[in-house]
Chains A and B, each alone.
Chain A
């Protein structure tokens, strides 16, 4: 067992979560909040220098091994903390967003009676996520993977009195389990073919998937062996690398809410908004992307599976954006946007641009957390109204929130001017999303992989829709006149936290309806605004500052063989470079037409059948409910009532019992009879056996 500051990064949030969770009654809310926030703050302070060392210094990949987890005949996993470029990126993403969300929640959850529990869960989540990103083998990765799943389950269902929140929590967990089904089988496949589940060697002579250097000695990986093996299932022979990569990607599809397994993410918005920002936007849902990139060398030798990744990612990018167009719940729009952006990351990984995928993961964390927390600020300011149809005119009362949300929107749509900025070694000048998203679209264009061209067009199309729904959100929320909710409101929260009444009453008093048509809202407290401002700085600068390292001139040294990296070619046709900007501006103009200039047009549009199809999310929930939920129920009933009760019991014990009841009618009581029966049979049997044994003994002449 070794110990280092890096171990503390991972464990500090765990200790804080345990203490805050177990002793919340004795510590009180303030101490619990302070402790958990401070612990994540500590992890944050410790992780930035590591990242900076990889960017500007010469950070070396290293592993701290703690103690053995499982070790059965080569199936070996060790609790460890692996630090390399990949985990350094994730450490700063996770800890930065987590710390800001902790701080924000101090304000957002101020009136909640279960604050201590909330913060304990948040810190536990942070721990599980850190364990995931610092794993050096599949089992620890899976531990973190499931750990964040549980934290997500607990936080989605945080308002446990709300039925819809509980159902959403179960849905999230079970759909993720469908992904885990594939993930677990992928782990088994990997072990069966390679005899190891370790990513990189930690000592000379270690079996590991990928090559690495240990104490200056280069140790070979096993991954190439996969290319020469096959899984034989009866008559079917499948290439081992493809099977393994495909199965593992099923897990990523669940965790990162990709097409077919995306249905849980929008429902997860039942959780408190800071949770959505941390777990369902910036960190947990990117775990799938992280895994695929971490296993880049595997996907590199599995072109079919990579093609599948590309197609699923591209489909998700476009599909989720279409659904995002038609949602009215502000959080659901952002949720579908997240789904769509994750699709971008996946098709980047699918076409082999792992660095672009990771870069988009990095920049997306800032602006998407910003958008979620901004949406939370609006919801908080409007007394828990989440429906954008009942918003409008929020800019004036909430100017800082508006400004930060606008920055987030610019970053999300990837606004930037290509071709300028060569002085700084940049391909253009723009917000953070510009660098990463354009790099992904260009990578798809330049790739010859399966589905790459499809992905390119999906990427461009999704960029148009992204711009449209983002500005739609901005305009419906902040511009125009306030449209009060005709229905009794607060139903969102009413069943949730009873102590919210204090909160609501407090705010209602001070807000008569403003005469100028702006919303009767209040700007959020500074403890909520400060995280927004920090994230906004990231949404502006994260792209330009780190572009040279993730994608540009220094990328080779930065990635240092942790992922497969090739110098990309930079001579794309001009129209490819400009296409994203053109569609983005088009989306912006369309949004102006529909939501500022001619709002009647958008209302008419909202009545059409296409809109209903999109609003109902392509009816996926209805379909799944019919096929899987009802199907499982029907099968369960069939197996139980027809199978167990009628068939098995009917032919077996009940049939026998009926006949034996006939015989036992002469006996006094069945109730005690069975004991005698049994003892009697045993006794007879034993006597017979003894007699036989003795006879046999005599016969055998012994």
Chain B
């Protein structure tokens, strides 16, 4: 299959195919003027087609990709102004996150079938969002990365701000404030890095691989690394989100429409982890060592704090959002343990969390679409009317709890194994999260699914329909396959993990 795509700019096709769909929808809107009653449905179908096509293209890219090769592959490079260039390329880390994105987006479109307000704008934004998300992982030029990284937030703001719930303005504004702060600092750091690299005579100072090479040959002195690390950290920590800059996430989730929540939890949060792995560890290894205790502390606090707060939530989405914060604590802990188990575990946890938290938000969406409330107390006894839904919800709840056999387990255990080798107390603190997650997740499940139906509004609630079945089946399969045979994923990402780990451990003082 790799022969088929040889010579094609496959990553550009992959990245801009959704955008092409968006353009097509805009053109059709101009000509149809939105009068045709079947128009909205047509837009949904078209969007679904484009997202599935993108997934198919990503499969081709996957086939053309050689996981045994540690270098960036499928590269493209078109120079433009002042030494920057349009450079694309992926390694196994980026490729795995691209696959996650293209796999989840069609399911999000299926979940968005219930959208009735300004359908074509919604779909255009969603397609643009997909382009920007894929772009983040494919970009090899630091300016290009920055554009995709920050640009992706604009469609998300609008999705929350227009299609969101009652307090959408507050939520979007909070999101905006945090992200703005982080991104400005990161921009300053990028400028500094590029100018230093240029001053040192690096030929293409905007190229991420060139910068990495420059950094690893001692280009940034440990003192400078500290400042650069902090600036990048400001941006990535907000994205993760890490404690104490996590409070935007529950609000954003609560107000966001279902599909936006899925994307937010499943993919946008992963940009923080991706950033740490792509920039912080390989480019500023000395600073990363210096800050490891700091990140460990924040990670453990995030795990324990967010789990306890999740335990007290009254809103289903808020509970899952807090549980995301806790799960991301495992990711940061794994990344900064720096050994192969920790980094592999962190990557796996990111992918698994993408699937499980995405699925959990879809589960909330299913009952929200029927009852228009996310209040936990409203529900109860759903298993009586919705046995299939209850079974699927249970599977993902168990995944969230990190049960072995689901994809939630390998990431958690590997990150803890990684951390234990560095500091046993950190692993012990994180392991508290294993207890607490069982408490809040099973309590949520008990309140929503078990018991008798006491609320008369729920008497007529119906089980999953065909669309919802189609939406959940791929997620169920992915959860179980990644849980029982995680080796497929771990072997794939091994290259990147080894390289990052080597870069980090090589700088150990």
Which residue numbers of A lie inside 8 Å of B, CB to CB?
Answer: 67-73, 75, 139, 142-143, 146-147, 150, 153, 157, 160-161, 163, 166-167, 169-170, 173-174, 177-178, 180-181, 184-185, 187-189, 191-192, 231, 233, 495, 632-633, 635-637, 639-640, 643-645, 648-649, 652-653, 656-657, 660, 670-672, 674-675, 677-679, 681-682, 685-686, 689-690, 692-694, 696-697, 700, 702
Contact check: which of A143, A645, A682 meets B150 at CB < 8 Å?
A682
B154 and A675 within 8 A (CB): yes
In the complex, are the beta carbons of A161 and B452 less than 8 A apart? yes
Pair A192/B421 contact, Cβ less than 8 Å: yes
When distances are taken between beta carbons in the complex, the residues of chain A under 8 Å from B312 are 633, 636-637, 640
> Given A146-B404, A147-B404, A233-B424: A188 and B344 within 8 A (CB)?
no
Measured between alpha carbons, how far is A184 from B437 in the docked complex, in Å? 15
Verify A174–B173 contact, CB threshold 8 A. no
CA distance A632 to B157 in the complex (A): 35
Q: How far is the CA of A556 from the CA of B462 in the complex (A)?
A: 63
Question: A69-B485, A632-B308 are known contacts. Are A697 and B381 too (CB-CB below 8 A)?
Answer: no
Instruction: Report yes or no: B383 in contact with A160, Cβ–Cβ below 8 A.
Output: yes
Indicate whether A75 sits within 8 Å of B451 (C-beta atoms), given known contacts A69-B487, A640-B309. no
Nearest A-chain residue to B155, judged by Cβ: A675
Known: A73-B340, A671-B161, A681-B184. A657 touches B174 (CB 8 A): yes
Contacts of A682 in B (CB 8 A): 150-151, 183
Q: Which of these, B82, B310, B424, B434, contacts A180 with CB under 8 Å?
A: B434
**CB pair B403 A72 closer than 8 Å:** no
Q: Are the C-beta atoms of A648 and B244 separated by less than 8 Å?
A: yes
B81 touches A653 (CB 8 A): no
Which listed residue, B177, B248, B438, touches A173 by the CB 8 Å rule?
B438
- The answer to whether B340 touches A72, judged by C-beta atoms less than 8 angstroms apart, is yes
Contact B311 A633 (CB under 8 A): yes
Which chain A residue has the least Cβ–Cβ distance from B198? A700
In the bound complex, do residue A181 and residue B405 qualify as a contact, i.e. CB atoms below 8 Å apart? no
Q: Is B81 a contact partner of A72 (Cβ separation < 8 A)? A: no
Is A678 touching B487 in the complex (CB atoms < 8 A)?
no
Kindly state whether residue B287 has any CB partner on chain A within 8 Å: no
* Assembled-state Cα–Cα distance A163/B450 (Å): 8
Interface of B is mostly: helix
- In the assembled complex, which residues on chain B have CB atoms less than 8 Å from the CB atom of A139? 404, 413
Asked whether A697 lies within 8 Å of B198 as measured between CB atoms, the reply is yes
Smallest Cβ-Cβ distance to B345: which chain A residue: A72
Tell whether, in the assembled complex, residue B439 and residue A174 are in contact, meaning their CB atoms are under 8 Å apart: yes
Check A690–B439 contact: CB distance below 8 A. no
Q: Which residue of A lies closest to B172 (CB)?
A: A674
- Which of chain B's residues has its CB closest to A117's CB? B387
The answer to whether B83 touches A697 (Cβ under 8 A) is: yes
A513 vs B195: C-alpha distance when bound (angstroms): 97
Contacts of B154 in A (CB 8 A): 675, 678-679
Which residues from A are CB-within-8-Å of B198?
696-697, 700, 702
Name the prevailing secondary structure of the A interface residues: helix
- Identity of the chain B residue whose Cβ is nearest the Cβ of A640 in the assembled complex: B309
Who on chain A is nearest to B442 by CB? Answer: A170
The 10 A-B pairs at the shortest CB distance, nearest first, are namely A188-B420, A636-B312, A636-B308, A143-B404, A73-B340, A640-B309, A160-B450, A177-B438, A653-B174, A177-B435
Determine how close the nearest CB of chain A comes to the CB of B351; give it in whole angstroms. Answer: 14
Query: Does B486 sit at the interface, judged by CB under 8 A?
Result: yes
A-B contact pairs, 30 of them (CB 8 A): A69-B487, A70-B487, A71-B487, A72-B490, A73-B344, A75-B341, A146-B405, A160-B383, A160-B451, A166-B450, A167-B446, A177-B439, A184-B413, A184-B416, A184-B431, A187-B417, A188-B416, A636-B308, A637-B312, A639-B305, A640-B309, A652-B177, A653-B248, A657-B177, A670-B169, A675-B154, A678-B154, A686-B147, A689-B190, A694-B82
Please give, as numbers and ranges, the residues of chain B lying within 8 Å of A150 by CB-CB distance: 398, 403
Contacts of B452 in A (CB 8 A): 161, 495
Determine which of B169, B184, B446 lies in contact with A166 in the assembled complex, contact meaning CB atoms within 8 Å. B446
Contacts of A181 in B (CB 8 A): 431-432, 434-435
CA distance A672 to B421 in the complex (A): 49
Q: Please give, as numbers and ranges, the residues of chain A lying within 8 Å of B157 by CB-CB distance.
A: 674-675, 678
A184 to B345, CA, bound (A): 15
Is B341 a contact of A73 with CB atoms below 8 Å? Answer: yes
Residues of B close to A167: CB separation below 8 A: 446
Assembly CA distance A656 to B150 (angstroms): 21
Quick one: closest A residue to B312, CB to CB?
A: A636
Q: Kindly identify, within residues 355 to 398 of chain B, every residue whose CB is under 8 Å from any CB belonging to chain A.
A: 381, 383-384, 398
Complex CA–CA separation, A191 to B421 (angstroms) = 9
B247 contacts the other chain (CB 8 A) = yes
Checking B177, B421, B428, B450 against A157 with a beta-carbon cut-off of 8 angstroms, the contacting residue is B450
Residues of A within 8 A of B425 (CB): 233
Contact string, B313-351, partner A, CB cutoff 8 A, digits 1/0? Answer: 100000000000000000000000001110011000000
